Chain A
């Protein structure tokens, strides 16, 4: 009786698993470590997905929520530069220049509940409830409307783990991960009971543990392998509960899972500003620069985290020296040299993109001139303090752009899937 299968109005539930790569989800589900998720996946279609560059959460999630690329939504990284300046700033949700899924659904009278969405701080009002995720600081500013604040406090809601301490103390990391996930689970239970059309939860603990103990995922003898598996089992339990509730209330269509980027092990960190300095493209006023503000006249190019290169153009930057006529040849020169960069005989760079090859829209000029797609294992960094081109810190995992995942009950037609394709498809379900 297909006609009567839909038990109520159309509903959509989206669960994000920050940074979980396609291969890892496949492995955990096929090996029986995430049984509930395995069952969900069996009933639909799991696809590998590419994301926008830079492949970091603030950009990826913004691309997801707006269905656009950074040239249109205006978010190119966790950090950006003030206009005509080398001063770093931290773009916030106020910098977003394109409407989100829930803006669009809200206009159609649909009520949305969005929990722990990165890159939405400070939260602004939506038709429903928005709880901002990373880099949210104060809970007061992370919740819209503010009337939900007392209840979230009572439920012990915690925006994120204490990453500073967790990076050093991995026992503490797992305590924090559990505590945060449990509190999120309580808030999910509470808000699920409200009236909603669109429900979204993002789990960010996955990304955190992968940064700090990626080796423990790959190595079964690693001291943190079991705690990692235990955490994924908890995530699995939450997913299973959500899917169970969702499919009891609906026909099951409209349930989506996704990650915002993939992950892999770090072989080497690559300090782009050191490379630019060595090659003579970047000059500092002082021997030990503390920021890009120390850039000296004569600088041709500099890098911003994680993999963005900016040409020091006249009119764009205070000590800019390059005129329009010089840009094209220089970009090609940098592209060629970077694509040839090696570490101990191994190529480091997969491809160097020109800004216009990646971005389209009114804000392309705000973006970088070049974006470097590294080979797996080579984590690009924009630090100005490093002296060597290659090095390692305590971090074990790095982001990747071509192995995020997307799951939907319905088969999505077409070729390669991209994170910017999703919002239109999701909104289309309400037609």
Chain B
């Protein structure tokens, strides 16, 4: 099976890492080789030392994009999950990689502020964190992402399902093999096995 890159973009706390993990689990289940490059993790190794100026942010996203490109051409599913605020750099990665699926994690900033357990939005508003995307640094929404997940309205499972269905429809992954049994049949089998103490 050919590789591709699944690129999650969105404001801090918009659900990129959680959805990347959810998508990873499904793709692994489907028998694919998967590698996740999470922005927070990448900044501790591949992009260690880079800051949050526009130049450093661009370098970080280009590096992640380059690794995704290498993985993709070796038939791995690369999952990038980083704020990646600038449209131009995301599009550069799209051009470099080719087999590129952009997922926009959309969520109103008021919800993100409530969701923010580390209090980063508050600190940014107080000026304690500089260059904070969405507060003191810009975020450029994707114009034509392949998937938009509205993480304030959807559960993680629903969003992951939407992403996976898009990948199926676009032919990046084969449709899920249908289980032999319907949900009703499974329920009945379960009850019968339970009655005899087999489960």
1/0 per residue, CB under 8 A from A, across B177-199: the answer is 00111000110111111011111
Closest to B188 in A: A137
B189 touches A135 (CB 8 A): yes
Residues of chain B within 8 A of A393, CB atoms compared: 197
1/0 per residue, CB under 8 A from A, across B158-179: the answer is 0000000000000000000001
A87, B25: Cα distance in complex, Å: 11
Residues of B that sit less than 8 Å from A by CB? 24-25, 28-31, 179-181, 185-186, 188-193, 195-199
Shortest distance between the CB of B53 and any CB in chain A (Å): 35
Shortest distance between the CB of A266 and any CB in chain B (Å): 9
Chain B interface mostly: helix
A318 touches B25 (CB 8 A): yes
Identify which of A82, A90, A137 contacts B29 (C-beta below 8 A): A82
- Decide yes or no: A211 and B25 within 8 Å by CB, A137-B185, A164-B191 being known contacts: no
B180 touches A92 (CB 8 A): yes
Shortest distance between the CB of A262 and any CB in chain B (Å): 16
A160, B28: Cα distance in complex, Å: 38
- Decide yes or no: A83 and B180 within 8 Å by CB, A78-B199, A90-B186, A90-B189 being known contacts: no
Residues of chain B within 8 A of A363, CB atoms compared: none
Question: 18 additional contacts, CB 8 Å, given A95-B180, A163-B195, A305-B198?
Answer: A83-B29, A85-B28, A89-B179, A90-B180, A90-B181, A90-B190, A94-B180, A122-B180, A135-B192, A137-B189, A138-B185, A166-B195, A305-B199, A306-B198, A318-B28, A379-B197, A381-B197, A395-B196
A52, B130: Cα distance in complex, Å: 66
- Decide yes or no: A211 and B28 within 8 Å by CB, A92-B180, A135-B189, A137-B189 being known contacts: no
Residues of chain B within 8 A of A318, CB atoms compared: 24-25, 28-29
Q: Does A247 contact B (CB under 8 A)?
A: no
* Top 4 A-B pairs, shortest CB-CB distance: A163-B195, A92-B180, A84-B28, A395-B197
A78, B197: Cα distance in complex, Å: 11
Residues of A that sit less than 8 Å from B by CB? 56, 78-79, 82-85, 87, 89-90, 92, 94-95, 122, 134-135, 137-138, 160, 163-164, 166-167, 207-208, 211, 269, 305-306, 318, 379, 381-383, 393, 395, 398
Identify which of B29, B181, B196 contacts A163 (C-beta below 8 A): B196
A137, B185: Cα distance in complex, Å: 7
- Decide yes or no: A92 and B31 within 8 Å by CB, A305-B198, A306-B198 being known contacts: no
Shortest distance between the CB of B76 and any CB in chain A (Å): 14
A78 touches B198 (CB 8 A): yes
A167 touches B195 (CB 8 A): yes
B191 touches A56 (CB 8 A): no
Residues of chain A within 8 A of B189, CB atoms compared: 90, 135, 137
B193 touches A78 (CB 8 A): yes
Shortest distance between the CB of B34 and any CB in chain A (Å): 10
A346, B97: Cα distance in complex, Å: 64
**Can you list 28 residue pairs at the A/B interface with Cβ under 8 Å?**
A78-B198, A79-B199, A83-B29, A83-B31, A84-B25, A84-B28, A85-B25, A87-B29, A90-B180, A90-B186, A135-B189, A135-B192, A135-B193, A137-B185, A137-B188, A137-B189, A138-B185, A164-B191, A164-B192, A164-B195, A166-B195, A167-B196, A211-B196, A306-B198, A318-B24, A318-B28, A382-B199, A398-B197
Residues of chain A within 8 A of B193, CB atoms compared: 78-79, 135
Shortest distance between the CB of B189 and any CB in chain A (Å): 5
A208 touches B196 (CB 8 A): yes
Residues of chain A within 8 A of B179, CB atoms compared: 89
Shortest distance between the CB of A162 and any CB in chain B (Å): 9
A382, B103: Cα distance in complex, Å: 39
Residues of chain B within 8 A of A167, CB atoms compared: 195-196
A271, B24: Cα distance in complex, Å: 32
A211 touches B197 (CB 8 A): yes
Shortest distance between the CB of B1 and any CB in chain A (Å): 14
